[in-house]
Amino acid sequence: MNPATGKVITAVAAGSSKDVDVAVDVAKKAYKTSWGLKVPGTVRGKLLYKLAELLERDIDEFAALERKVYANAKAGDIRMSIEVFRYYAGWADKVQGKTIETNEDKLAYTRHEPYGVVGQIIPWNFPLMMLSWKFGPALATGNTIVLKPSEITPLTALRFADLVNEAGFPPGVVNIVNGYGSTVGQAIADHPLIEKVAFTGSTLVGRKILKASSESNLKVVTLELGGKSPTIIFDDADLEQAIKWAAYGIFTNMGQACTAGSRIFVQEGLYDKFLAKFTEIAKNLVAATGDPFVVGTQHGPQVSQIQFDRVMSYIESGRQDGATVHTGGTRHGEEGYFIQPTIFTNVKPEMKIMQEEIFGPVGVVGKFKTEEGEPSYCVSTL
């Protein structure tokens, strides 16, 4: 779906557990015959450098496929993804063990080896950046990959597969299987031949992946999950810098980030000045909300109808619990999934908007008196 209009862009085939089986078999064969310890780090590094060059060549296309504010995606998401591949390209020939001194009768050493086939499951909020974070280290160290992109944002990963082929990676090293978490994601988490799973997403699903690992082959699991990060601003803070970074922390990417600073605690001596200028930034973003491809747009739509509804339900929850909608709190325009940057005040720690991750452009601003009274207020989340 195009989140700016709510209209269909295209249809993508959904995979199944059988497709995961095929992908794992191909990846296993590639690992044993044409990748892994069969290919030196210098070669892996050259291929990753080539991948970065191709991505830089096609930066405009990939920025468009991200389905967010085009200028931000090009300067941020895609540019940083290019740098990630270059970074890991430089590491590929520096994976080293150690020789350990013991005595003249024996030789003791350590050797770093790839896991083999690794599963990767990425979210929709930073499609290409998340892919680069998963692909870069896995390929640099000689692993083969079975990756599931989000069913909401599969286009970036599918187009990226073309670059993998063009760069010259052997067949089977990288495998991308579209589908839903309950089918393809579950199959990756359960598969006995996948040695490691890297997952970025919700805490709920992270628990399911850990459970699947414990009930299958005890595969290694790396999890990057949700958060409810506090931003804490004291009276002696640089006001302009505090406002700048607090606004960036909650409104960037339309608040769709696990590190979003959605709870902002301001000491009472600075609170009024902070709130006034913070509100001004939010209102300016409303004026700069619109078509992601138009020059000057700074604030785009939420990624989907489901996410739009979820964020709006949290805004309604805040109202029902007695918080004040200081600004925003409504849909922007008549089509697409746009939500005005929103600020809540007069909040209490037990409110749902203070406790749970909203994943939208909703900042909750609270006030505190002293440093001694602040910490428990900031960490009391579910």
Q: Give the catalytic positions in this structure.
A: 224, 258
Whether residue 242 contacts residue 233, with contact meaning beta carbons closer than 8 Å, is answered with yes
> Coil, strand, or helix at residue 116?
coil
Whether residue 366 contacts residue 347, with contact meaning beta carbons closer than 8 Å, is answered with yes
Whether residue 174 contacts residue 135, with contact meaning beta carbons closer than 8 Å, is answered with yes
> Coil, strand, or helix at residue 103?
coil
Rounded distance, CA 117 to CA 21, Å? 12
Whether residue 136 contacts residue 156, with contact meaning beta carbons closer than 8 Å, is answered with no
Rounded distance, CA 60 to CA 338, Å? 23
Whether residue 82 contacts residue 48, with contact meaning beta carbons closer than 8 Å, is answered with no
Residue 26 structure tokens: 């191909």
Q: Residues with Cβ < 8 Å from 165, sequence gap 6 or more?
A: none
Residue 153 structure tokens: 């944002």
Query: Between the CA of residue 294 and those of 4, 6, 12, 105, 150, what are the distances in Å?
Result: 12, 17, 27, 71, 26
Whether residue 197 contacts residue 121, with contact meaning beta carbons closer than 8 Å, is answered with yes
Instruction: Please count the other Cβ atoms lying within 10 Å of the Cβ belonging to residue 356.
Output: 15
Q: What is the sign, positive or negative, of the torsion defined by CA atoms of 61, 62, 66, 70? A: negative
Rounded distance, CA 14 to CA 334, Å? 31
Residue 96 structure tokens: 């080293």
φ, ψ at 191 (rounded to 5°): -65, 130
CA-nearest of 283, 270, 257 to 365 is 270
Per DSSP bridges, beta strands 144-148 and 117-121 are parallel
Rounded distance, CA 113 to CA 96, Å? 9
